[in-house]
Chains A and B, each alone.
Chain A
Amino acid sequence: MKQFLRIAYRNLISHSGRTLILGSAIALVTALLTLMLALTSGIKTRMTENAMALSTGHLNVGGFMKISQSSSAPIVQHKEKIQELIEKNIPELDFIVDRVRAYGKIISDKHSIMVPMNGVDMSREAKTLGRLEAISGSIADLAKPGHVVIFAAQAKKLEVVVGDLVTISMPTYRNIYNTKDLKVAAILKDLGLLSAFSAFIHHADAREVYDMSAHSTGGIMLYLKSMNDVGGVETRLRKLLTDNGHTLMDKESNPFWMKFERVSGESWVGQRLDVTTWEDEISFLKWILDIFNALTFVLTFVLMFIVVVGLVNNMWMAIRERTAEIGTMRAVGLQRRSVLQLFVFESMMLSVAAVGSGIVLGALIVGLLNVLKISVSSEAFVMFLMSNEIWLNLRTVDIIFVFILLCGLLSFGSLIPAYRASKMKPITAINHVN
């Protein structure tokens, strides 16, 4: 085995030009794939972090209140009892916050936008809203009623600055139109598409506009000690609520503001709770990840095809050049299987070195881009990247995936020429003249 490895290594070195070109091509493809995976992972991480701050807990207990068949209001009654039930029975819980959920219009002197609004209690939101960065004003002003906090793109559309008055307008849970004038307290940095679907007001203002009691809320957001527990806790939470006399809505992987039409169309009246995970609440953004995953797959497939064809071609050339050598080795007793091993080792050695180099190169580029903190000015890119700057997240699992995938594919591609080489008759091969 050691001998074969040495022969394979020497063969690669003896054709250094060809090895270098092919190795570089493989390394570049590897680096590109590494970058794409780091970019997709970066977007997903940012999306998750942003979602946790803006609109969802790891798990959420929301729901709708219908006073008539044709109404639907995102209200959870007796929030204290439900919170107590959760705190007593979910040991995985880290902390819990509740927000009044509202969906209405923000109207400035010049324009208006429809946006889901969160009525928040700032004294309980340090771990969630604390990480949001304000361009102007202070998010801490939301501790007092009479203020609204919006994102930069929304402020641009409404043509407002900090200190301006806007009107929020939405129907109460009894379908009566209501309004409230609020002052813009802060304008936050955009966080991609997700921030277009969030604005923040004081919980008392939201309750006033919705005409709801202090014992009702819009949604209870559960933050667990570990995100890995989400699946198990969701099942238990559903059972816990049902066992305690609450009626649950059918599972639908959508945020609350996409359920109004469906709930309005259902004939039940009263209160129903809705248990959702963070993934359900940002499901409307899944298409962005799907696009990047599809792009990564297509790009990888095309480049891999080219590289594998290059590798196979390279091996054919090597076999052709070394036909007489193969014949001599076979004549002195080398088995067919060993010839196959020899060529596969050569290919594996090249793959491991090139893919390894590519991963190192990709990791260096990822590190460099993260250090440079390149800001993105295009609104379209901000929307897709979920951040104002390029941020990539290279995970160990992605590195292992890239290494195994590329080395495996390249080694598999070398099997055909290696097999053909092993099938050569010694007498024919030894007499082969280049």
Chain B
Amino acid sequence: MKKLILVSVLGLYGAVFAAPLTDKESLEVVKLVDDRQRNSGDYTSLCYVKESEKSKEPKVFQAVVYRRDADDKFMILFTKPKEEAGKGYLKIDKNLWMFDPGTGKWERRTERERIGGTNSRRGDFDESRLADEYTVTFDGEDKLGNFKVHKFKLKAKDGVDVAYPILGLWVDQDSKNLLKREEYSLSSKLMRTSFYPKWNKKYSESKKAEVWIPEEIRIFDELEKGNSTVVVIKETDLKTLDNNIFTKAWVESKSK
């Protein structure tokens, strides 16, 4: 009898803990993924982007990313190689602008802009807003290497303009770090797979909590197999930035 009770309890325990997450619980996990990366203040980081295309020599870019999450401002300023130095992307309100130091002109760009001609998009460097932009459903449990993960399927909410309308997320059950992300086209074809193998945390004065920052993002083009992009994020700083940084004039001054 005792044995039967023990088996029942273990069975119940297993059933409870292996049970699929409800939509509400899934949304809470994704909100947590967003929140852990969100910094209510300013953000600066040095990024290296390595673009590899089949039958071409890999190209490496260095850029500085500036963010002010409080009022949704964002900027990327390329510093290397020499021919790309001075090129800048600036997001003001809902408009993404690109500055070309060669012509000295600003051009409005779309959300789908390939940053610096690489396979990375603005969203790869910007604040995570998954819970705001997508509807979340639970897609099962999985294992990524040694990590036990929750799988989620995300669909873009009506009226929200995102580059990829369907996402697949693999979130570490223990740390709640995002480990893998799949991006699908409107016709449900897999277009990009990204891996987030390393995460760093940094204390934010403005948030009064720790902010999690992916140290490395590996992006694989699933349509053109063999093309990949590696984004390495270093020297993250969460100190308050000058007010005049998020202006076209500041980008132009840095491009000279």
Seen from chain A, the residues whose Cβ lies within 8 Å of a Cβ on chain B are 68-72, 105, 107, 109, 112, 167, 169, 171-172, 174-181, 208-209, 211, 261, 264-266
In angstroms, Cα B183 to Cα A181, docked, is 17
Chain A residues positioned under 8 Å from B223 (CB to CB): 105, 107, 112, 167, 169, 179
In angstroms, Cα B165 to Cα A176, docked, is 7
A70–B94 contact, CB under 8 A? yes
Seen from chain B, the residues whose Cβ lies within 8 Å of a Cβ on chain A are 94-96, 107-112, 156, 161-165, 183, 185-187, 189, 191, 223-225
Contact among B96, B185, B224, B225 with A177 in the assembled complex (CB-CB below 8 Å): B185
The residue in chain B whose Cβ has the minimal distance to the Cβ of A260 is B110
Chain B residues positioned under 8 Å from A109 (CB to CB): 225
Chain B residues positioned under 8 Å from A171 (CB to CB): 110, 112, 163
Shortest Cβ distance from residue B171 to the other chain A in the assembled complex, whole angstroms: 23
Instruction: Specify the main secondary structure of chain B where it touches its partner.
Output: loop
With A70-B94, A107-B224 known as contacts, the answer to whether A179 contacts B187 (CB < 8 A) is: yes
A169–B111 contact, CB under 8 A? no
Shortest Cβ distance from residue B155 to the other chain A in the assembled complex, whole angstroms: 12
Chain A residues positioned under 8 Å from B94 (CB to CB): 68-70
A265–B107 contact, CB under 8 A? yes
In angstroms, Cα B94 to Cα A172, docked, is 18
A178–B187 contact, CB under 8 A? yes
Chain A residues positioned under 8 Å from B111 (CB to CB): 70, 175
Contact among A174, A180, A211, A261 with B107 in the assembled complex (CB-CB below 8 Å): A261
A176–B96 contact, CB under 8 A? no
Q: Closest 7 A-B residue pairs measured CB to CB?
A: A178-B186, A179-B185, A179-B189, A265-B108, A177-B185, A178-B185, A265-B107
The residue in chain B whose Cβ has the minimal distance to the Cβ of A108 is B224
In angstroms, Cα B230 to Cα A162, docked, is 36
Contact among B109, B161, B224 with A176 in the assembled complex (CB-CB below 8 Å): B161
A180–B110 contact, CB under 8 A? no
In angstroms, Cα B97 to Cα A261, docked, is 12
A180–B161 contact, CB under 8 A? no
In angstroms, Cα B109 to Cα A360, docked, is 58
With A175-B163, A177-B163, A179-B189 known as contacts, the answer to whether A112 contacts B110 (CB < 8 A) is: no
In angstroms, Cα B188 to Cα A181, docked, is 11
A211–B186 contact, CB under 8 A? yes
Shortest Cβ distance from residue A161 to the other chain B in the assembled complex, whole angstroms: 20
A71–B110 contact, CB under 8 A? yes
CB pairs A–B below 8 angstroms (17 shown): A68-B94, A70-B109, A71-B110, A72-B110, A105-B223, A167-B189, A169-B223, A176-B163, A176-B165, A176-B186, A177-B163, A177-B191, A179-B187, A179-B191, A180-B187, A264-B107, A265-B108
